[in-house]
């Protein structure tokens, strides 16, 4: 298991990203290797779209609802992805800024996503998530006016990863993983397909890493005042539930959580179908109670958001009770065309 505590530190820099950063290409090479020199000959690798990739990726955030679904050992998802890994690093290497992947890809579907994960592979082979990025390839030219892909046509795509400041230790390896889904954070694209990644001297698929050499004159450490709010004890924190499970007979994957935010209870289940990725569904509920002036007001909501090959569907039911008696209820639903999503 990857340790979920990161021994980080705060540091002052002269700019963001630091002025000393050099964007350095890391090239995709044959046999799943990655290196600092471009490939000498042309080649391709391919992966089958699996909407469940992201089982170990955690959630970007849950708003006011802990836990934050932290990512764990990425080997669960690496096994379902196209991976390129360097040899062991001879010295520490710091990446500070926004990595970018430049990939030459062709797919068999008109709608496909490209998800890129940057991982740190330790000497014991565990794979830790550093950062990731996502692009619906129909948005390759414009987010306002997406265009379908032409199956079989090769496109140069740029995938911007989330900003990071990370030190890869000596002896560790850098891994770039490519797939078509980020299960817990993005709605799956609807069509099963195969994606082919091209790598050659004239189509150099690569990751542009913002590598930062050591500060020539170290700046003083930031002087941060401690928070005036004490950390809650474990006994004071809500006891959340968070799980990812597979239904083997139905070939589905579900992430489910239940947690209290201090004023209510939030429950949610998100299920995707590996056999038919057009069909996905989120079922959520929220309940809270407010007591004042000797009375009690409860608010309960139920929502279902689902998709099929042609549309998204959203159903909401809300009810308010005063001292146990129904005071207000409203239900509504809407469907919108799926389009290029």
Q: Identify the pLDDT of residue 293.
A: 82
- 62 pLDDT band (50/70/90 cuts)? low
pLDDT of 64 strictly over 50: no
pLDDT tens sequence across 113-170: 999 999 999 999 999 999 999 999 999 999 999 999 999 999 999 999 999 999 999 9
At 156 the three-state DSSP class reads strand
Q: Identify the pLDDT of residue 295.
A: 87
The model's pTM: 0.91
pLDDT of 236 strictly over 80: no
Q: Give the span between the Cα atoms of 79 and 29, in whole angstroms.
A: 18
Phi and psi for 75 in degrees, rounded to 5? -65, -25
Q: What is the CB neighbour count within 10 angstroms for residue 247?
A: 12
Residue 194, classified by CB atoms within 10 Å of its CB into exposed (0-12), middle (13-18) or buried (19+), is middle
Contact 300, 318 (CB under 8 A): yes
């Amino acid at each position: 298991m990857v340790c979920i505590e990161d021994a980080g530190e705060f540091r002052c820099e002269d700019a963001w990203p630091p002025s000393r950063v050099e964007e350095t290409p890391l090239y995709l090479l044959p046999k799943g290797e990655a290196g600092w020199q471009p490939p000498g000959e042309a080649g391709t690798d391919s992966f089958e779209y699996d909407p469940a990739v992201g089982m170990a990726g955690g959630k970007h955030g849950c708003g006011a609802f802990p836990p934050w679904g932290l990512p764990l050992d990425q080997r669960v998802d690496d096994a379902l992805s196209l991976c390129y890994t360097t040899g062991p690093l001879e010295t520490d290497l710091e990446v500070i800024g926004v990595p970018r992947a430049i990939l030459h890809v062709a797919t068999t579907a008109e709608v496909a996503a490209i998800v890129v994960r940057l991982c740190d592979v330790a000497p014991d082979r565990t794979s830790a998530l550093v950062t990731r990025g996502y692009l619906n390839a129909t948005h390759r030219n414009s987010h306002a006016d997406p265009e379908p892909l032409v199956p079989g046509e090769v496109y140069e795509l740029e995938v911007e990863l989330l900003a990071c400041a990370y030190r890869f230790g000596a002896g560790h390896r850098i891994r770039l993983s490519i797939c078509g889904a980020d299960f817990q954070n993005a709605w799956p694209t609807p069509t099963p397909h195969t994606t082919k990644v091209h790598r050659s001297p004239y189509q150099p698929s690569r990751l542009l890493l913002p590598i930062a050499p050591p500060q020539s004159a170290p700046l003083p450490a930031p002087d941060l005042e401690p928070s005036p709010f004490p950390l809650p004890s474990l006994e004071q924190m809500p006891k959340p539930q968070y799980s990812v499970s597979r239904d083997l007979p139905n070939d589905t994957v579900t992430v489910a959580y239940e947690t209290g935010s201090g004023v209510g209870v939030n429950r949610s289940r998100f299920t995707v179908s590996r056999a038919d990725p057009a069909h996905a569904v989120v079922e959520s509920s929220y309940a809270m109670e407010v007591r004042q002036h000797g009375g009690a007001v409860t608010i309960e909501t139920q929502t279902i958001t689902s998709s099929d090959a042609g549309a998204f569907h959203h159903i909401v039911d809300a009810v308010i009770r005063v001292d146990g008696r129904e005071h207000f209820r409203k239900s509504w639903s809407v469907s919108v065309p799926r389009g290029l999503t």
